Amino acid sequence: MADSRDAVALSFAESWGRLVAGLIGWCGDWDLAEECAAEAFAAAVPVWERDGVPDAPLAWLTTVARNRARDRMRRRTTEEAKITLAVADASEEVAAVDEEDIPDDRLRLIFTCCHPALPMPARVALTLRTLGGLTPAEIGRAFLVTEQTMEKRLVRARGKIRNAGIPYRVPPPELWSERVEGVLAVLYLMFNEGYAASSGEALLRVDVSAEAIRLTRSLVDLLPGEPEVRGLLALMLLTDARRPARVRDGHVVPLAEQDRSRWDLDLITDGARLLDAEPPWGPYAVQARIALCHDVAVQPDDTDWVAIAELYTLLPATAVTELNRAVAVSMAHGPEAALPLVESLADDLADYYLYAATLADLYARVGRRPDAVTALETAIRQAPTGAERRLLRERRDALLSCLDG
Amino acid sequence: MKYVLLHAVDESRLEDPLPVDLDVELDAWIEEMVARGVELDGARLARSSDATTVRVVDRHTTVTDGPFAETKEQVAGYDVIECDDLDAAVAVASAHPTTRIGSIEVRAFDAGMPDPEVPEKAAEGKRRYLMLVCADMRRAMAAEAAAPPADQAPSPDLHDAPDQPDEGDDEIDRWIADAGARRLYGWPLDFPNRAVTVRRVDGRVVTTDGPFAETKEQIAGFDLLECTDLDDAIEVAAGHPVAEGGVLDIRPLLV
């Protein structure tokens, strides 16, 4: 019994995105597609638990969902619904659907969910809902908003797709690279949000990072010619590998102090395998390589900081990238070499807590402890979460006790 | 002369669909103005949350969600009217039911605008979008105020709005050619400092000087587009000379 329930759950995870994507392609109506997909799964649970999962679960689900959709469309009276029905009727007549005949529309779906004309939070929510199959309540919990708020966000997003005519398609060549970039940005944001939230208090939250990884994995299959998709997946896996050691007793543990025996070697191997050996590497691949440099160091002292500092020069030069590069330089060539680099970023990063924290670290290492304490005070004021503030306070108190002694 | 009426409404108070009495009044207004030959074109727009703005920075197109300015009142519809003068246009606006729920900005088009010819329905498989051409015109308005004598004020047009007064006309012509059949019509508007806004206070019509909202960027003109989908409209917008330095706000028409 438990086995068949697991099988149903597994089939859900695997089929939801393709089912919804196919239904939208079939009838053009996002709300209807989602409602009927959910109903098809609800109908499947008792039947599959009793009889086992069918050989072609997607075909089974598609058939049930299309029949439900057809019933609903017939009951509608508006002109628009009649048009939808006519379109759907023309393309499909019989009830039973062959698995091979169902096109994989997930690419169309993800490009539409990540369209730049939608607000970023809506892109993330829509992708998690329509491709990932998370419920509005689950997504709401992950982003600390109520189910109603999340439902409203989704309704508005689907409304905009319909009203503004956002196309349901894979973008043409002239839009290709920027739209792929847009999809990757949504997935990376999703991963990071989930990652940050995982250090928080709520255990109930759905694992959005895991969902981001799952979606990126399927994107790797759907877009085999895009090295940056693999780069992003590698970056996610190589970051996620450190998750078991990242939080201890509710505190974020800095990289250098993490228990490296708890890092997930399988994920590190998987991530490393995804990376191209030879340049050119896109920004995600470069960041993945940096993560890999950390992941393969058995002890913090083993870290190849020279390589990391070099890799940072391959990233688009933003102030934050420069700050990270400066940290690597300080590790490779000493804090004196890095201080001028960091100090030159003062104007750009005046409000960024990690700037002040980095400066404090360098001051401490060159023996300028009072300056370090002052910088830490700034960082504590600017830090966004309680966990980060706690960590910074501990550092400040340690420095103060050194000063007293 | 031709004028545009921009219907500005606080969307949080906008009911969907419109209350019946308002709807009836709206139909009556349209019927009368069409019969009088005043109304040339007009439509309701989708909510501003369905708007998409397009900018071009260093030849790179940026697409963002939402209207060009986050104001309390948003453009919810427009009418293009033909009237003898501003007073007549204000009278036409005053009779419109929008004054009961919001305000109407009355603005003249630049001279020479041909009559818009807009088929009642969009072509098969096409959608209509109103593209608001928005720019910061404060400098141009200040320059005009400082310079010429009143009797020969140059026709202010949107070509002068951003900092490219010389090749503006050529670029606009090139853009119009590129937009081709996707553009039904469009024309630049007079400066916003010469707009008149009509609203109703305690049941009485009140007219005030200037646009409905004091924003940095103001509507400098508009084009009615007929496109396959939003990406198609974005492409048209990105090619507009004002996209660099200004902003184009794409509003789906309510169907």
pLDDT value of residue A199? 47
Rounded to a whole number, what is the distance in Å from the CA of B50 to chain A's nearest CA? 5
User: Measured between alpha carbons, how far is residue A38 from residues A50, A62, A101, A168 in Å?
Assistant: 19, 11, 21, 21
Rounded to a whole number, what is the distance in Å from the CA of A332 to chain B's nearest CA? 37
Is the CA virtual torsion B142, B145, B146, B152 positive or negative? Answer: positive
Read off the tokens for A384: 């966004």
DSSP-derived secondary structure letter, B152: G
CB contact under 8 A, A117 and B52: yes
Rounded to a whole number, what is the distance in Å from the CA of B234 to chain A's nearest CA? 10
Distance CA B147, CA B130 (A): 33
CB contact under 8 A, A164 and B250: yes
For residue A118, give the nearest of B47, B65, B227 by CB distance.
Answer: B65
pLDDT value of residue B15? 76
Taking Cα atoms as reference points, which of A5, A148, A187 lies closest to residue A139? A148
Residues of chain A positioned with their CB less than 8 A from the CB of B64 = 116-117
For residue B46, give the nearest of A164, A167, A171 by CB distance.
Answer: A164
Any idea how long chain A is?
405
- ipTM, two decimals: 0.86
- Interchain CB contact of B33 with A (< 8 Å): no
pTM for the full predicted model:
0.86
- B61-97 residue pLDDT tens: 999 999 999 999 999 999 999 999 999 999 999 999 9
User: Measured between alpha carbons, how far is residue B191 from residues B142, B144, B211 in Å?
Assistant: 11, 10, 9
CB contact under 8 A, B227 and A171: no
What value does the CA radius of gyration of chain A take, rounded to a whole number of Å?
Answer: 25
User: Measured between alpha carbons, how far is residue A359 from residues A324, A344, A348, A399, B67 in Å?
Assistant: 12, 11, 14, 14, 40
CB contact under 8 A, A171 and B229: no
B22 Cβ contact list (under 8 Å, min separation 6): B97, B100, B101
Classify each residue of A285-310 as buried b or exposed e, where b means 16 or more C-beta atoms within 10 Å of its C-beta: bbbbbbbbbbbeeeeeeebbbeebbb
Burial label for A208, CB within 10 Å (0-12, 13-18, 19+), is: buried
Rounded to a whole number, what is the distance in Å from the CA of B126 to chain A's nearest CA? 10
- Interchain CB contact of B65 with A (< 8 Å): yes
- Interchain CB contact of B98 with A (< 8 Å): no
- Interchain CB contact of B52 with A (< 8 Å): yes
- Interchain CB contact of B49 with A (< 8 Å): yes
pLDDT value of residue A78? 63
CB contact under 8 A, A165 and B127: yes
Rounded to a whole number, what is the distance in Å from the CA of B66 to chain A's nearest CA? 8
pLDDT value of residue B163? 47
> Is B80:B42 a contact under the CB 8 Å cutoff?
yes
pLDDT value of residue A76? 76
The β-bridge partners of B187 are B222
Please check the confidence at residue B128 and state whether its pLDDT lies above 80: yes
- A264-300 residue pLDDT tens: 999 999 999 999 899 899 999 999 999 999 999 999 9
Low-confidence ranges of chain A (pLDDT < 50): 1, 90-94, 199-200, 202-204
Is the CA virtual torsion A288, A293, A294, A295 positive or negative? Answer: positive
Taking Cα atoms as reference points, which of A139, A119, A121 lies closest to residue A129? A139
pLDDT value of residue B149? 58
Is the CA virtual torsion A282, A287, A288, A292 positive or negative? Answer: positive
Taking Cα atoms as reference points, which of A183, A181, A211, A184 lies closest to residue A197? A211
Q: Which residue of A has its CA nearest to B254?
A: A163
Residues of chain B positioned with their CB less than 8 A from the CB of A158 = none
Q: What's the mean pLDDT in B189-202?
A: 94
